[in-house]
């Protein structure tokens, strides 16, 4: 039974998504409880899978029972299993959060929303597990197409953002596919383990170098790496409030994970292409993203826009950790990825609550309801601690590990980039808190009722998770060190 777990994890949301149009044809309000139930089961199965992988080693699964270089191989290793737990918990929270907000913010298209979000979750599962470059492309496309649909599901202004996302996302997917076809033309294989044997001997081939470059650009667009990030803030800002937490916390992080897979599992990470070490490239791009993203966040007035740029800078910080080429940096990067996914979900939940319940969108306006919104302000403080990276939260330990890794690798520019982006993050949260606590604008004299239970639940759980990831950082980091390291690091 346990060898089927990766496929079961993928099929649970897929089955739910494709039976939704039939089941919910007459009873549209069933879609919410069904999705929640399926995702609860998925959380349990993913925890079981993590336990199984940690105790009995990685699970290899080849679809249709083919032999390895020919069939599509999925591997549930430590890294994939940890990410899957994160993915299923955050999607469950996202769907729980969507309950009361969805009818209004989705313009009545409730069933569409649940179908697309379950499809998105199953596609992300596929990306995390897949060890086949073309299969990875298919799931990237499924995830992307459901995200375009989700961003534009409510119509109106979001349609423009969704269309721009569609154009750039398709460009990214095309670049990736072009890269895969170059590699396939040269090596004749798509399996990652098989490619890992063949590519190091072929680095003189211009086709391989061009293919890798195309793949990196394609995935760079998908993960909103800095020169290619323009689609991301608008898409996440104008997406319905019940959509943006799941998109912001998961889609870019999973694309980043695919990049990590290719760098460490397909390429030997220490190789240099035309005398440029690829890890140096990763660290430099990460440093640029960390600083530029945070500076752009400082210039925003819209809450969601600010958080989206914050997410761009955190992608950079994760890449700095990944790019150091030592165990400390890698584990720090992955641990920061976990934290960042939780923090992004939390921030977009907060922005969603602020808009759905208090009808505020900008930093000035949030100051006017601050006194009346204890849950909002309380969880915002925890999230700010996490985003800035102050000690009791997971953000601190992630950044700490990354900085230790960078010092170990002697890359002081990376250290400076992490610190600079931390300062800029501090600056934009100070801006936010100044608006709340200094009360420069007159408070609204509208009475707001108690916020719904599901809002309290999602804000509470994510804020608690930010703290718990910090308090239990050493066992988590130890587990990542034991199970999630790439071969040869």
The smaller minimum CB distance to other proteins, of residues 1 and 442, is found at 1
The smaller minimum CB distance to other proteins, of residues 18 and 413, is found at 18
| Cβ partners under 8 Å of residue 477, min gap 6 | 331, 332, 335, 397, 401
Q: Does 104 bind other proteins (CB under 8 A)?
A: no
Q: Does 7 bind other proteins (CB under 8 A)?
A: yes
The smaller minimum CB distance to other proteins, of residues 59 and 369, is found at 59
Q: Does 21 bind other proteins (CB under 8 A)?
A: yes
List the one residue from 11, 185, 413, 430 that touches other proteins (CB under 8 A). 11
Distance CA 482, CA 485 (A): 7
Q: Does 448 bind other proteins (CB under 8 A)?
A: no
Q: Kindly state the smallest distance separating residue 115's Cβ from other proteins, in Å.
A: 8
Q: Does 18 bind other proteins (CB under 8 A)?
A: yes
- Exposed/middle/buried for 201, CB within 10 Å: 0-12, 13-18, 19+? exposed
List the one residue from 33, 57, 108, 227 that touches other proteins (CB under 8 A). 108
Stretch that binds other proteins, among 20-28, 216-224, 379-387, 409-417 (CB under 8 A): 20-28
The smaller minimum CB distance to other proteins, of residues 6 and 405, is found at 6
Determine the 3-state secondary structure of 74 from DSSP: strand
- The token pair at 411 is 């890359």
Q: Kindly state the smallest distance separating residue 127's Cβ from other proteins, in Å.
A: 17
| CA neighbor of 150 nearest in space, from 98, 114, 104 | 114
List the one residue from 9, 14, 50, 343 that touches other proteins (CB under 8 A). 14
The smaller minimum CB distance to other proteins, of residues 24 and 360, is found at 24
The smaller minimum CB distance to other proteins, of residues 111 and 243, is found at 111
Q: Kindly state the smallest distance separating residue 61's Cβ from other proteins, in Å.
A: 7
- C-alpha separations of 414 from 224, 227, 323 in Å: 19, 18, 9
- The token pair at 344 is 């992004």
Q: How much of the chain is helix, strand and coil, in % rounded to 5?
A: 80, 5, 20
Q: Strand runs (DSSP E) across 63-192, as ranges? A: 73-76
List the one residue from 5, 9, 20, 154 that touches other proteins (CB under 8 A). 20
Q: Does 449 bind other proteins (CB under 8 A)?
A: no
The smaller minimum CB distance to other proteins, of residues 62 and 203, is found at 62
Q: Does 113 bind other proteins (CB under 8 A)?
A: no
- The token pair at 186 is 């040269």
State the Rg of the chain over Cα.
Answer: 21
Distance CA 345, CA 250 (A): 8
Stretch that binds other proteins, among 7-15, 204-212, 304-312, 391-399 (CB under 8 A): 7-15
Q: Kindly state the smallest distance separating residue 22's Cβ from other proteins, in Å.
A: 6
Binding to other proteins, residues 53-82 (CB under 8 A): 61-65
| CA neighbor of 94 nearest in space, from 467, 466, 459 | 459
The count of other CB atoms within 10 Å of the CB of residue 442 is: 8
User: Which region, left, alpha or beta, applies to residue 359 given φ > 0 means left and ψ of -120 to 50 means alpha?
Assistant: left
Question: What are the phi and psi torsion angles at 191 (to 5°)?
Answer: -70, 135
The smaller minimum CB distance to other proteins, of residues 115 and 282, is found at 115
Where does 31-109 have alpha helices with state H? 31-56, 78-105
Q: Kindly state the smallest distance separating residue 103's Cβ from other proteins, in Å.
A: 13
Distance CA 41, CA 241 (A): 25
Stretch that binds other proteins, among 2-10, 274-282, 318-326, 452-460 (CB under 8 A): 2-10
Distance CA 384, CA 390 (A): 9
Please give the angle made by the CA atoms of 102, 108 and 112, to the nearest 5 degrees: 80
Q: Kindly state the smallest distance separating residue 156's Cβ from other proteins, in Å.
A: 15
Q: Kindly state the smallest distance separating residue 203's Cβ from other proteins, in Å.
A: 34
Binding interface with other proteins (CB under 8 A): 4, 7-8, 11, 14-15, 18-22, 25-26, 28, 61-65, 108-109, 111-112
């Amino acid at each position: 039974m346990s060898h089927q777990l990766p496929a079961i994890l993928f099929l649970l949301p897929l089955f739910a998504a494709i039976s939704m149009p039939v089941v919910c044809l007459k009873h549209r309000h069933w879609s919410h409880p069904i999705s929640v139930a399926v995702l609860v089961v998925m959380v349990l199965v993913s925890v079981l899978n993590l336990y199984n992988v940690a105790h009995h080693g990685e699970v290899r699964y080849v679809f249709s029972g083919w032999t390895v270089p020919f069939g599509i191989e999925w591997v549930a290793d430590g890294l994939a299993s940890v990410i899957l737990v994160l993915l299923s918990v955050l999607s469950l929270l996202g769907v729980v959060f969507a309950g009361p907000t969805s009818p209004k913010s989705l313009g009545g298209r409730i069933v569409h929303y649940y179908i697309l979000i379950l499809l998105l979750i199953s596609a992300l599962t596929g990306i995390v597990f897949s060890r086949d470059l073309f299969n990875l492309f298919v799931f990237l496309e499924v995830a992307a197409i459901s995200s375009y649909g989700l961003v534009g599901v409510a119509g109106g202004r979001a349609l423009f953002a969704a269309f721009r996302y569609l154009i750039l996302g398709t460009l990214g997917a095309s670049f990736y596919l072009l890269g895969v076809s170059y590699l396939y033309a040269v090596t004749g294989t798509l399996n990652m383990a098989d490619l890992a044997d063949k590519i190091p001997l072929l680095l003189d081939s211009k086709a391989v170098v061009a293919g890798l470059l195309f793949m990196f650009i394609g995935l760079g667009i998908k993960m909103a790496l800095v020169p290619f990030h323009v689609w991301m803030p608008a898409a996440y800002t104008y997406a319905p409030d019940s959509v943006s937490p799941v998109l912001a916390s998961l889609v870019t992080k999973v694309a980043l994970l695919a990049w990590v897979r290719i760098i460490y599992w397909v390429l030997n990470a220490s190789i240099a292409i035309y005398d440029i070490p690829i890890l140096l490239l990763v660290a430099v791009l990460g440093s640029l993203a960390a600083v530029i993203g945070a500076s752009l966040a400082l210039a925003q007035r819209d809450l969601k826009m600010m958080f989206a740029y914050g997410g761009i800078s955190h992608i950079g910080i994760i890449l700095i950790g990944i790019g150091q080429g030592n165990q400390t940096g890698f584990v720090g990067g992955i641990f920061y990825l976990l934290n960042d996914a939780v923090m992004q979900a939390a921030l977009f939940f907060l922005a969603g609550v602020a808009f759905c319940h208090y009808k505020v969108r900008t930093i000035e306006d949030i100051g006017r309801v601050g006194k009346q919104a204890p849950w909002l302000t309380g969880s915002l403080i925890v999230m700010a601690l996490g985003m800035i990276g102050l000690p009791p939260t997971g953000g601190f330990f992630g950044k700490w590990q990354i900085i230790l890794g960078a010092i170990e690798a002697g890359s002081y520019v990376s250290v400076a980039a992490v610190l600079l982006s931390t300062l800029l993050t501090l600056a934009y949260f100070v801006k936010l808190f100044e608006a709340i606590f200094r009360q420069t604008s007159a408070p609204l004299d509208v009475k707001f009722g108690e916020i719904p239970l599901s809002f309290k639940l999602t804000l509470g759980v994510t804020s608690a998770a930010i703290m718990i990831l910090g308090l239990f950082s050493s066992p988590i980091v130890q587990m990542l060190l034991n199970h999630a390291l790439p071969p040869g690091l």
